[in-house]
Structures are given as structure tokens and as C-alpha cells.
């Protein structure tokens, strides 16, 4: 009897802890490792100060916001994308908002499809800064089309850009980091890099490929413990990725990006990414509910995840056909298109 009574406080404490964790999870928008990094880990302004960070896809969206928050942490930046004028705009904003100087930010136009130029671009950074401490692979395009309607060329374009282009840049930077014994290679993947989603068959395939590549690369670098391979998996985030998405034809633009207000803000997403990078988190799950729940369900109870995928997937297709943003209004009836 005494032993049973002695166990009661322990069971009560365990129950309270479990309840607190559940409450934290319900209101959370990041996995528990990333939550720890944000609340109690090394701050970005300490860990990233003075580091040379190369950002691809830096002209808009998550890449642009990464530039601003890294500049605020006093990291030195290399800004890459195809649109040089937009990169110059981002650079000017960084200079105006922070104490960085002109020499601290290099604008380096880059086409991920032009793989023959990637070594030259890498050498240009090493010539300017002498080092590359971090590569953030953020460049790429999304997709909004049903498989049955989509040209094979769209799938080829997605794999060439999102996967092969990213691998090419990584291969140029990795030998430098191995020689120095230190560095971070971070890649912005997606929730669809972990689970499939309708309207994104090609995009999801390219992100699954990135997951497989970087998970395997991480195991190859066990003799280089100073190099961190980090994959970032956001759920729906406000950005221009929808406007720039592939449709069923390579030359057809998205007709409408739809309402983006239901998505996580770009600023919040990047704030969490910064916490993860500062603490070398290997994989980051970022998403408002129910998307964060979906990460855990898919990871630990895949049978239930398939059921959830069917429900959410059906709604996503309904939204798309009704002319809404694919990720909006999951729990309300979509209105039909109006002419």
C-alpha cells in the first residue's frame, strides 16, 4: 500500500507534464527540437555574427526575409537569384536596416539551371570573402496542376531546377567546407518532402529527392563532424512561390495566387529557421496547425496519416477547382468560380 501511495505523486507529475506538453503542442508552430532551440538555444546574433552566408532564391519570399534577418544578426551575405535588379533592392534594404557595409553583401546573379557556371560563382564568393560558412539552398519553383493534365516537360523542369540545380551548387561548396572542417548546408524543402500532396506531384517528387539526397549526404560526412546538413520543412507560408509555380504547361502562368492570409507569415517562418540554423538543428518542422500535427502523424502513425492525407487532399483539389488557393479553407465549403 505504501509503495502504491508513493507512486501516486510520480504518476500525477507525469500526467501534468504530459498535459502541459499537449497544450504546448496544440498552440505550437514548430517541432519540439526547434522550440527548444528558439527558447533556450544559442541566439542567432551570437552564432551567426560575421558568418558568410550564401542564399539562393534571395530575391523574394523566404530567401528575401532570410537576407533581412541574417543582416540583422550581422552575418555577411551573398545574395543569388536570376533577377539582379531584385537582388540589388534586397541588398539596399539590408544596408538601410542594419549596420552592414557595402563590402559585407555580394550580389551574385545565379541560374540554377546553368550548372556550367556554378564553379565560377563559387570561386567568385571565395575571392570576395575568402570563405563560405553557410549555404542556404532556397531557390526553386512549386507546382499547381493535376498529374493527368501536366506535360512531362513540367516534371523535367521541376527536377532539373529544384533537385539537380541544388545538388550542383552543394557539390561546389562542400569540398571547401570539408577542407575547413566546418560549415552548414541548409536546404529549404517542404512538408511535401515528407508526405505527398495533390497538385504537387512533380514538386513533391523533387522535394522527396532532396530529402533522400541530404539524409544520405549527412551519413557520408561522419568524419567531418563540424559540417551540419540541415533540412527545413515548412508548411504553407506567405511567399511568391504560388505566383511563380509551374502549371500543366511550362509556358502557362498561375491564373491567381488566391488568398494568402491563412498561411504562416514569412517573418515568423524565417525567425524559426534562424533559431534552427544558430543551433545546427538537422531537420526543422515548421507549420501552423493542423500541418504541424500532420508532420508527427506521418512520422509515427503512417496508416492514420494516409487517412488524413485523403481528407485534406480531396479538399485541396476542391479548392483548386473552385479557383481558391489550394491550401485555404480546409474546413469550410469552397465557393464555386464566378465568371
Helices 201-220, 165-180: crossing angle, 10 deg rounding: 20
203 catalytic per annotation: yes
Task: Decide: 209 and 330 in contact? Cβ < 8 Å.
Answer: no
* φ/ψ (deg, to 5) at 15: -65, -40
Catalytic residue among 203, 296, 300, 330: 203
| Burial tier of 36 (Cβ tally within 10 Å: 0-12, 13-18, 19+) | middle
Look at residues 99, 76, 80, 100 and name the one whose alpha carbon lies nearest to residue 88: 80
* φ/ψ (deg, to 5) at 296: -70, -40
Distance of alpha carbon 60 from alpha carbon 41, whole angstroms = 28
Q: How many CB atoms lie under 10 A from the CB of residue 1?
A: 5
Task: Decide: 242 and 142 in contact? Cβ < 8 Å.
Answer: yes
Distance of alpha carbon 170 from alpha carbon 122, whole angstroms = 10
Catalytic residues: 203
Amino acid at each position: 500500500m505504501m509503495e502504491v501511495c508513493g507512486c501516486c505523486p510520480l504518476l500525477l507529475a507525469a500526467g501534468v507534464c504530459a498535459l502541459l506538453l499537449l497544450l504546448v503542442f496544440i498552440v505550437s508552430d514548430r517541432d519540439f527540437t526547434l522550440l527548444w532551440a528558439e527558447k533556450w538555444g544559442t541566439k542567432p546574433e551570437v552564432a551567426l555574427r560575421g558568418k558568410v552566408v550564401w542564399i539562393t532564391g534571395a530575391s523574394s519570399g523566404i530567401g528575401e526575409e532570410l537576407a533581412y534577418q541574417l543582416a540583422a544578426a550581422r552575418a555577411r551575405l551573398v545574395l543569388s537569384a536570376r533577377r539582379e535588379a531584385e537582388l540589388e533592392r534586397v541588398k539596399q534594404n539590408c544596408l538601410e536596416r542594419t549596420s552592414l557595409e557595402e563590402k559585407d553583401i555580394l550580389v551574385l546573379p545565379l541560374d540554377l539551371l546553368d550548372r556550367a557556371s556554378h564553379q565560377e560563382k563559387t570561386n567568385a564568393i571565395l575571392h570576395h570573402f575568402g570563405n563560405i560558412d553557410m549555404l542556404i539552398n532556397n531557390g526553386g519553383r512549386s507546382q499547381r496542376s493535376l498529374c493527368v493534365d501536366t506535360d512531362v516537360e513540367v516534371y523535367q523542369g521541376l527536377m532539373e531546377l529544384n533537385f539537380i540545380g541544388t545538388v550542383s551548387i552543394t557539390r561546389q561548396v562542400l569540398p571547401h567546407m570539408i577542407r575547413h572542417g566546418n560549415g552548414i548546408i541548409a536546404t529549404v524543402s517542404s512538408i511535401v518532402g515528407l508526405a505527398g500532396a495533390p497538385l504537387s506531384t512533380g514538386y513533391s517528387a523533387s522535394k522527396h529527392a532532396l530529402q533522400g539526397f541530404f539524409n544520405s549526404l549527412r551519413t557520408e560526412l561522419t568524419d567531418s563532424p563540424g559540417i551540419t546538413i540541415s533540412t527545413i520543412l515548412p508548411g504553407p507560408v506567405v511567399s511568391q512561390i504560388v505566383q511563380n509555380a509551374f502549371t500543366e504547361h511550362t509556358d502557362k502562368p498561375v491564373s491567381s495566387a488566391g488568398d494568402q492570409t491563412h498561411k504562416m507569415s514569412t517573418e515568423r517562418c524565417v525567425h524559426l529557421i534562424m533559431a534552427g540554423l544558430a543551433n545546427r538543428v538537422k531537420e526543422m518542422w515548421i507549420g501552423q496547425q493542423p500541418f504541424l500535427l500532420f508532420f508527427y502523424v506521418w512520422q509515427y502513425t503512417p496508416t492514420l496519416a494516409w487517412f488524413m492525407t485523403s481528407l485534406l487532399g480531396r479538399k485541396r483539389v476542391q479548392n483548386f477547382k473552385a479557383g481558391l488557393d489550394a491550401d485555404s479553407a480546409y474546413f469550410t465549403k469552397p465557393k464555386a468560380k464566378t465568371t
